[in-house]
């Protein structure tokens, strides 16, 4: 499990590095593009590509032809046969302790974040009619169909947006009196820009990922980049809505004097991060304009493309494995696979289904790793398009145990592969998964697996 986590972290780090290169290429483009790219980099840590590769592998196996899917369908059953001879292993305590520590720290961080979210604002009151009317006017300028609620906080803090589904704009008490009308409108436009862009939703999702991967600094760095680019994108929307630069700068400076602008959990404050860079961009008229829609969706397209590529590779990989198995089934030569022995002069090719007569027992020759062995089938569990070879069993007294031939069990020199079940003078005998000497069929540890070829 730990190796899978480390591999996923390495993949996500590579994805973040690619995003970093793209943001450097788009540093002259709108901040909204860079914001979406960093959001995609953060969410990549929550989306392992291995999930989509596994899904593609399952889909590829599902659409394989019936004779070829024999080995793939019964990989789990073969592992069960091999497990009978393996000793029981206890789970190492180091991975278990690491997992428990990981989950405990993650839970503590998430709980602390939720509690800070609930207690960061304090008591709020309704806004005055003039402030409510200004908010409605600014909502129209920002192009919002629904006007969010406006609340006044008694606690000293900067303006911010709370909530995701039903956002609420919270402003400090007396801000409309300390700012002139244009500066107050610019401050409200900035918060409405956060509402329009759904910045709280993306910020909360990226922060949750950071809490899960608390031990790795890259998600925390990505979260800071997400917050910074969101503020720059909102600055651009405020100026696009027609707010004067001087009034907007005046509003930002006054807000800085009213509070320390500490980030509020689960909110989008107007000050946020990299305030000096933002002020310099506004004063120097370096706020980027609009960007083509196809470029603005680059982050989501990059993440979706990675998931799609993993899915395709999973499908191709599974079908290549099926094709290789099919080639072994068709050749069944000594140079490739000797096949499964059943007391006959020639071995049976991998994929062959035999029926022991007269006891009507069905078995299929499959591969466990690179070793052929017999797998017992349930009655009626063979598709109609699979050819079954009838094999006449010798009388029960015929099978006399002799020295094994490597991994093969023998009866008077006739070889049988692991998984074979025969009759003898002392009852049914089974060749174990480890091969070698016959064992009593009834005395074997665990149930001898019986499966079906039907999907």
Residue 454 or residue 231, greater confidence? 231
Q: Are residues 133 and 206 in the same domain?
A: yes
- Give me the phi and psi of 422, to 5 degrees please: -130, 165
- As a whole-number percent, the residues of the chain with pLDDT over 70 amount to 69
CA distance 301 to 299: 5
Residue 350 or residue 39, greater confidence? 39
**Reported confidence tier of residue 450, pLDDT bands at 50, 70, 90:** very low
Residue 84 confidence (pLDDT): 38
The total number of structural domains in the chain stands at 2
Cis before residue 358, ω within 30 degrees of 0?
yes
208, part of any domain: yes
DSSP structure class, residue 274: -
Average pLDDT along the chain: 74
Residue 270 confidence (pLDDT): 54
34, part of any domain: no
Residue 67 or residue 179, greater confidence? 179
Single out the residue in 269, 296, 323 at which a domain terminates. Answer: 296
Predicted confidence (pLDDT) per residue in 164-188, tens digit: 888 999 888 888 888 888 999 999 9
Residue 121 confidence (pLDDT): 58
2-16, 59-73, 191-205, 274-288 — most confident range = 191-205
Angle at alpha carbon of residue 239, lines to 235 and 243, rounded to 5°: 120
Q: Are residues 289 and 417 in the same domain?
A: no
Predicted confidence (pLDDT) per residue in 70-106, tens digit: 333 333 333 333 333 334 445 567 778 888 898 999 9
Residue 134 confidence (pLDDT): 92
Q: Are residues 364 and 288 in the same domain?
A: no
Residue 136 confidence (pLDDT): 93
Compute how many other C-beta atoms are within 10 angstroms of the C-beta atom of residue 340: 31
Residue 203 or residue 66, greater confidence? 203
Residue 425 or residue 203, greater confidence? 203
Residue 264 pLDDT exceeds 70: no
Q: Are residues 379 and 286 in the same domain?
A: no
Q: Are residues 287 and 385 in the same domain?
A: no
**Reported confidence tier of residue 292, pLDDT bands at 50, 70, 90:** low
Lowest pLDDT segment from 192-201, 259-268, 384-393: 259-268
Residues forming beta bridges with residue 161, ordered by sequence position: 169, 268
Q: Are residues 291 and 380 in the same domain?
A: no
The residue range of the domain holding 404 is: 353-440
Residue 287 confidence (pLDDT): 60
DSSP structure class, residue 281: H
Strand order in the sheet with 421-424: 421-424, 427-430, 439-440
278, part of any domain: yes
Residue 86 confidence (pLDDT): 38
103, part of any domain: no
245, part of any domain: yes
User: Which distant-in-sequence residues (6+ apart) come within 8 Å of 92 by Cβ?
Assistant: none
Single out the residue in 276, 296, 316 at which a domain terminates. Answer: 296
Residue 12 or residue 376, greater confidence? 12
Q: What is the mean pLDDT of residues 54-68?
A: 59
Q: Are residues 280 and 358 in the same domain?
A: no
**Reported confidence tier of residue 115, pLDDT bands at 50, 70, 90:** confident
CA distance 205 to 223: 10
Q: Are residues 288 and 163 in the same domain?
A: yes
- CA atoms 134, 119, 232, 12: torsion sign: negative
- 0.75 surpassed by pTM: no
8 A C-beta contact, residue 170 and residue 163: no
Residue 372 confidence (pLDDT): 79
**Reported confidence tier of residue 380, pLDDT bands at 50, 70, 90:** low
Q: What is the mean pLDDT of residues 249-278?
A: 65
Q: What is the mean pLDDT of residues 353-380?
A: 74
361, part of any domain: yes
DSSP structure class, residue 156: S
Q: Are residues 268 and 357 in the same domain?
A: no
Count the alpha carbons within 13 Å of 268 in the hemisphere toward its beta carbon: 34
Residue 448 confidence (pLDDT): 43
Residue 61 pLDDT exceeds 50: yes
Residue 214 confidence (pLDDT): 93
Predicted confidence (pLDDT) per residue in 155-164, tens digit: 666 788 888 8
Q: Are residues 291 and 159 in the same domain?
A: yes
32, part of any domain: no
CATH number for position 157: 3.30.2010.10
Residue 299 confidence (pLDDT): 66
Q: Are residues 160 and 279 in the same domain?
A: yes
Residue 76 confidence (pLDDT): 36
Determine the 3-state secondary structure of 356 from DSSP.
strand
142-151, 339-348, 383-392 — most confident range = 142-151
Cα 268 to chain centroid, rounded: 28
366, part of any domain: yes
CA distance 249 to 245: 6
Q: Are residues 142 and 277 in the same domain?
A: yes
Determine the 3-state secondary structure of 219 from DSSP.
helix
């Amino acid at each position: 499990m730990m190796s899978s986590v480390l591999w996923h972290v390495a993949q996500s780090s590579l994805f973040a590095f690619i995003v970093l290169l793209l943001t450097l290429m788009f540093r002259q483009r709108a901040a909204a593009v860079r914001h979406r790219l960093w959001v995609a980099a953060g969410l990549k840590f929550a989306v392992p590509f291995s999930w989509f590769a596994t899904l593609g592998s399952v889909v590829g196996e599902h659409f394989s032809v019936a004779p070829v899917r024999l080995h793939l369908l019964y990989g789990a059953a073969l592992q069960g046969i091999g497990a009978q001879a393996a000793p029981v292993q206890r789970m190492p305590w180091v991975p278990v302790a690491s997992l428990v520590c990981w989950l405990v720290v993650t839970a503590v961080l998430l709980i602390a974040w939720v509690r800070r979210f609930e207690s960061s604002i304090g008591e709020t009151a309704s806004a005055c009619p003039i402030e409510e009317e200004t908010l409605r006017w600014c909502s129209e300028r920002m192009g919002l169909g629904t006007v969010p609620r406006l609340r006044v906080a008694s606690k000293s803090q900067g303006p911010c947006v709370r909530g995701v589904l039903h956002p609420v704009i919270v402003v400090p008490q007396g801000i409309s009196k300390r700012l002139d009308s244009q500066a107050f409108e610019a401050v409200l436009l900035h918060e409405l820009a956060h509402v329009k862009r759904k910045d709280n939703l993306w910020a909360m999702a990226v922060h949750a990922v950071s809490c899960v991967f608390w031990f790795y600094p890259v998600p925390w760095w990505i979260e800071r980049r997400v917050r910074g680019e969101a503020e720059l994108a909102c600055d651009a929307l405020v100026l696009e809505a027609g707010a004067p630069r001087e009034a907007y700068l005046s509003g930002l400076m006054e807000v800085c004097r009213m509070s320390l602008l500490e980030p509020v959990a689960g909110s989008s404050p107007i000050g946020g991060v990299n305030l000096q860079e933002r002020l310099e961009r506004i004063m120097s008229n370096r706020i980027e304009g609009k960007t083509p829609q196809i470029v603005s969706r680059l982050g989501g397209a990059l993440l979706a493309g990675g998931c799609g590529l993993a899915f395709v590779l999973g499908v191709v990989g599974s079908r290549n494995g099926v094709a290789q198995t099919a080639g072994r089934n068709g050749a069944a030569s000594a140079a490739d696979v000797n096949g499964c022995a059943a007391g006959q002069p020639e071995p049976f090719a991998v994929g062959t289904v035999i029926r022991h007569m007269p006891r009507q027992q069905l078995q299929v020759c499959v591969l466990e790793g690179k070793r052929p062995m017999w797998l017992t089938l349930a009655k009626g569990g063979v598709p109609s398009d699979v050819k079954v070879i009838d094999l006449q069993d010798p009388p029960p007294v015929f099978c006399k145990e002799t020295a094994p031939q490597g991994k093969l069990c023998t009866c008077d020199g006739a070889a049988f592969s692991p998984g074979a079940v025969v009759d003898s003078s002392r009852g049914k005998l089974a060749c174990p998964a480890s091969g070698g000497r016959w064992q009593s069929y009834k005395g074997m540890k665990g149930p001898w697996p019986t499966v079906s070829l039907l999907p």
